[in-house]
Structure 1
Amino acid sequence: MAAQDSRATEARPGPGAGPLALLRNAWRQLTSMRTALMLLFLLAVAAVPGSLLPQRAVALEKVGDYLRAHPDSGPWLDRFYLFDVYSSPWFAAIYLLLFTSLIGCILPRLRAQAESLLRPPPAAPSRLDRLPVSLSHPSSRSVQDVAAVLRRARFRVAVRDGAVSAEKGYLRETGNLLFHTALIVLLVGVALGSWYGWHGNRIVVEGPEGEFCNTLQQYDEYALGPRLGAEDLPPFCVRLDTFHAGYLDNGQPLSFSADVTYTENGPEKKKSLAVNSPLRLHGANVYLLGHGYAPVLEYTDRFGRRQTTTAVFLPQDGMLTSSGVAIFPDANLDPATGRRDPSQQLGFQGVYLPTVPDNVSDGSSKHPEERNPALMLVAYQGNLGVDNGIPRSVYSLDKAQIDAGRLKKLGEPHMLLKGGEPWKLADGSSIRFLGTKKWATVSVRNDPGEPVMLAGAVLLLLGLLPSLALRRRRVFVRVTDGVLTAGALAKNEYPGLAEELELLMEEK
């Protein structure tokens, strides 16, 4: 009984052995290839909401529109970071677990593969006829002759104890490891881009007034990586000189290009941009995205004071039917008192048609080129709501001001203006359509992870080819009393192993 109690005491785990065993098992599970594949699949599934729902880092305005259109479900989706998928805690957790799992999978296999590359093929077994593929026939060749044949076939060969051991296809595992290492490199590239990358979008109008410099205040929308600040942005300025667009007769786009002038701590330089030909600067690339028209309007108030504005109109269809607003908050300033009555501000809601259709009531352009341009305007007078400090869209009038009666239509319901035509309003003021300027949306981006991801993609292909094309197999041969006996086995399924062995052992 005492002996049994002693053995039970020796078998009982000591303090801390239980948690250590649990951690060891958890690490083994995490670093298994099955877990890595599951995490990779989970990461792909987790990225799906990022492609289905608008993301704040790319389209902040669309996120706001979605939240206003879905007041019930929108806040719940936002609570689970579905509008910030790629910066969410749960996406980062999957990402880090996958990163750890891949490293834990690869390191032991790298060591084993390095040892196998340096180690000669194992000794031949005693019974070659028990291998999956085997053959035996009379032969006049010696062991050295067989070894020479296998070397010419690019086998690693070792001759020991009168038998030949040969191995081929060991680079398959090297390709497999290279493939999985490339996945880690890709993850590192994504992490670098997420931490240190940034982007900003800006609508730029032709001419000097459309010039912008690389500061956050001059972007319509921007996003900085968590490891970057506004002071880390490289200094440069860009001006859109001219924009060129070509179309087929049916309105299908043919070509887009832009001539820009830029400065980068030096004299001005010129560059022509295209959709797939960005302006490459130090620390940033400038890409050409969308384009459209910006009507130029001259407003003369009832005191004879003139103001000119260039209003960006946003396209509503493929024919560049565009809508927007032009506001004059400083209109009707009384020259006698120098005071401005907020209730006398002017705003114009409009639709621009590059090519007016035969039936104007259709309300859409016939072609995206300016073949018969016209601007349809609706005038509003009253308080525009620009002085209350509340952010508002620059592409539409404040609907709340209209609904509250603080903005009212002035004069006729609408007026269709051609280039240079004036519109006399009921309060004695007038608006004149002077023409248009073209604008382009440029996206300024910097992703320091791009070179790393390119290297990872190249490694991925280099590793994938041998892992798919090669088959690891071993061949063992003995020659005894004029009888050649050979056997072979493959690490993975290899239907052509028997045919290959017969060709290698064939008398020549």
Structure 2
Amino acid sequence: MTTVDDRPAAPPAGAPRRRVNPVLALLRNSWRQLTSMRTALVLLFLLAVAAVPGSVLPQRGVNPENVDRYFVDHPDLAPRLDQLGFFEVFGSVWFSAIYLLLFTSLVGCILPRARDHVRALRMRPPAAPKRLDRLPAHAVLEAPAAADAEAIAAVLRRRRWRVVVRGNEVSAEKGYLKETGNLLFHVSLVAVLLGVALGSWYGWHGNRILVADPENAFCNTRQQYAEATLGPRVDSADLPPFCLTLDRFEAEYLPSGQARRYWATVTVDNLPGDAARTAGFSVNSPLRLDSANVYLLGNGYAPILKYTDRYGRSQTSTTPFLRTGDPNATEEGVAAFPDANVDPKTGKRAPDQQIAFEGLYLPTAPDQGPFVESRFPAERNPAVVLVAYRGNLGLDAGIPGSVYKLDQRQVENGKLKQIGDKKLAPGEKWTLDDGSTLEFVGTKPYITIAVRYAPGQLLMLVACATLLVGLMGSLFVRRRRVFFRVAAPDTGSPTSGSSLVEAGGLPRTEHPGFADEFAQLVAAVSGDGRDDRRAPEGDE
């Protein structure tokens, strides 16, 4: 019998070698490095490290007020962190680059391993080695109750082993769920990354302060958000139409001042095909609409200040004051009246006659000064401590600024001057030097809401659950093999007529309990022990 060698012939001696394209070689080597398991682990570690700033630093998509406060507290460091994207970590270019590389690396790792695993599932267990006594587990027994290979195979099948019989030999293998769980874990990681990408491309979110007043109703348009971020595939016209009106807000506190319960009641209107309805939500129970979820992020009070200028014209401001970080809900803010002191005869206002009041709101003011901090977060003794400023507020300069703070540049250059300060309780009035008055009418509660649409949430939830299942299989299932060989009866033996069965086994991975499991198998085959059909661990 002749054989044909179909391998390519070696080039003749002295022939020039074929030159390898350096670009293709570089791409091939780069792909191999990227799709290696070591690179995938490094990228996974980098992704975890890159997410740390998103947990430590305030994020614009979650709490823009805290970001503004961080800029005030760290005027030198905050701009540099902002340039690096540390206040929008999960939407930054460098974070996206890491998870895209990780996605590519995982796909490159999974595909060849999945192909090899499918091949392994289709292959039969290997033949028994000639020397079973060299395996880590070995036993020789007489088996009159299971005197042939088919009977031994039946015992193993009942215990859920993959079995193949080759003459008088039985080969069995178990533990393929380990690699299945491993692949399931990595596929779930890819699904998590797909969910993140899907939410980044087609998701959107926005933050808004909502005061309990029908005149302050909020409709879902980009212009009405204090801060909004739309995915690259989302346009302003794609936002679903609905409106929210805060009807009331309930807050309960323990005697220590710790919050016990928050609950907001709103009216939801303008949903397509639905009539207006009343709904409630809290911090851990968001308001779920068909196309968005509304989350409760914070709450506070909006002082109602009524200013009557020297010409007798009254204006009312209901401006939210922001929390200062004090657990007893001390708040600070500004009430500005840029259209005050307009001469009714001429319709003109002097540029230095604008008025503003900056200060603190204390839900529970102390009985005596200093009035710089609230004593309790609920309104037990409400008061405002205000400083009055008159002059040019700088609103006509076109320079963007915060509506919760005065432009300190106007104060420093003398265009905005302080004219007095006063503590007011609800119902009290303050008469200024020009005869104008300010009345503290009361307060209205407000809430800070985040409206979000994340299309990848369900995918990520299923992927995380599947990831845990795959991880459990990868950690607790063990690959192992056992072999049995039935020898012919020895007529010269004192136990003539009994078959001798030689058994051997080896774990494919570290398996401390394999010796006990092998002993149980041998006992089941010999008929000496109870045929427990469940393996002690890794049952599939």
Query: What is the TM-score of this pair, normalised by structure 1?
Result: 0.93
* Cα shift readout 1:442-470 (whole Å, capped 9, x = no counterpart): 11001111011011111101211211221
Cα distance, 1:73–1:286 mapped onto 2, change above 3 Å: closer
How many Å separate the matches in 2 of 1:19 and 1:395?
58
Q: 1:392 aligns with which of 383, 387, 401?
A: 401
1:37-186 aligned within 5 A: 37-59=41-63, 76-140=80-144, 141-142=146-147, 143-186=149-192
Q: What is the aligned partner in structure 2 of residue 262 from structure 1?
A: 268
Distance, in Å, in 1 between the alignment partners of 2:62 and 2:192 is 21
Question: What does residue 19 of structure 2 align with?
Answer: 14
CA distance in 2, matches of 1:234, 1:30: 41
Give the SS at the match of 2:306.
strand
Equivalent position of 1:30 in the other structure:
34
Q: Following the alignment from structure 1 to structure 2, what is the Cα–Cα distance between the partners of residues 354 and 83?
A: 31
Q: How does 1:47-446 map to 2 (within 5 A)?
A: 47-59=51-63, 76-140=80-144, 141-142=146-147, 143-263=149-269, 264-265=271-272, 266-316=274-324, 317-410=326-419, 413-446=420-453
More displaced stretch, 437-446 vs 351-360: 351-360
* Secondary structure class of the residue paired with 2:120: helix
Can you give the 5+ residue segments of structure 2 that lack an aligned partner in the other structure?
1-9, 490-498, 528-540
Q: Secondary structure at the match of 1:332?
A: coil
Secondary structure, counterpart of 1:414 in structure 2: strand
Is the contact between residue 199 and residue 446 of structure 1 (CA under 8 Å) also seen in structure 2?
Answer: yes
Change (3 A) 1:260 1:72: closer
Alpha-carbon distance in structure 2 between the residues aligned to 1:250 and 1:499: 58
Preserved contact between residue 293 and residue 436 of structure 1 (Cα < 8 Å): yes
- Residue 441 of structure 1 deviates from its aligned partner by 0.4
- For 2:167, the aligned partner's letter is D
Query: Once superposed, what is the RMSD of the aligned Cα atoms?
Result: 2.1
For 2:389 and 2:411, the matched residues in 1 are separated by 9
Answer yes or no: is the 8 Å Cα contact 2:365–2:371 preserved in 1. Answer: no
- Quick one: structure 1 residues 357 and 217, their matched pair in 2 at CA, closer, same or farther if it must change by over 3 Å? same
- The one-letter code of the counterpart of 1:123 is A
The CA deviation at 1:261 is 0.4
8 Å CA contact 2:484–2:504 kept in 1: the answer is yes
Q: Distance in 2 between matches of 1:394 and 1:100?
A: 45
For residue 481 of structure 2, what is the aligned residue in structure 1?
474
Structure 1 residues 79 and 428 mapped into 2: Cα distance closer, same or farther (>3 Å)? closer
CA contact (8 A) 1:234 1:282 kept: no
3-state DSSP of counterpart to 1:228: coil
Of 462, 467, 491, the match for 1:455: 462
- 2:530 alignment counterpart: none
2:5 equivalent in structure 1: none
Please give the per-residue CA displacement for 1:260-286, whole angstroms capped at 9, x wherever unaligned: 001113421110111112111122111
Deviates more, 1:248-257 or 1:133-142: 133-142
Rounded to whole Å, the distance in 2 between the matches of 1:130 and 1:324 is 82
Mapped partners of 1:77, 1:294: distance in 2: 32
Displacement of 1:41 in angstroms is 1.0
Q: Which deviations, in whole Å up to 9, do the C-alpha atoms of 1:59-86 show, x marking residues without a partner? A: 5565566567666655554444444433
- Match of 1:304, SS state, is coil
1:497 aligns with 2:506: no
Deviations 1:197-252 (A, max 9, x none): 11100011001122111111111111111221211111111110111100112211
Judge conservation of contact 1:295–1:310 (CA < 8 Å) in 2. Answer: yes
Query: Deviation at 1:47?
Result: 2.4
For residues 122 and 91 of structure 1, the distance between their equivalents in structure 2, rounded to whole angstroms, comes to 46
Give 2:411's aligned amino acid: I
Deviation at 1:52, TM superposition (A): 3.5
Whole-angstrom CA distance in 2 between matches of 1:65 and 1:205: 21
Q: After the TM superposition, which of the residue ranges 87-96 and 261-270 deviates more from structure 2?
A: 87-96
Matched residue type, 1:436: T
Q: What amino acid is aligned across from residue 235 of structure 1 in structure 2?
A: P
Secondary structure at 1:379's aligned position in 2? strand
Q: Which residue of the partner structure matches residue 538 of structure 2? A: none
Retained in 1: the 8 A contact 2:341–2:353?
A: yes
Gap change, CA 1:269 and 1:73, over 3 Å in 2: closer
> Which sits farther off after the overlay, 60-69 or 421-430?
60-69
Name the SS of the counterpart of 2:327 in structure 1: coil
Q: Partner residue of 1:488?
A: 505
**Structure 1: 5+ residue stretches without partners:** none
1:53 Cα deviation after fit: 3.7
Counterpart CA distance in 1 for 2:339 and 2:151 is 100
Whether the aligned pair in 2 keeps the contact of 1:329 and 1:342 (CA below 8 Å) is no
The 3-state SS of whatever aligns with 2:509 is coil
Q: Structure 1 CA distance, aligned partners of 2:78 and 2:213?
A: 41
Larger deviation, residues 355-364 vs 122-131: 355-364
CA 124–30 in structure 1, closer or farther in 2 if over 3 Å, else same:
same
Matched to 1:422, the amino acid is K
Matched to 1:341, the amino acid is A
Measured at CA, do residues 72 and 325 of structure 1 come closer, stay the same or move farther in structure 2, by a change above 3 Å?
closer
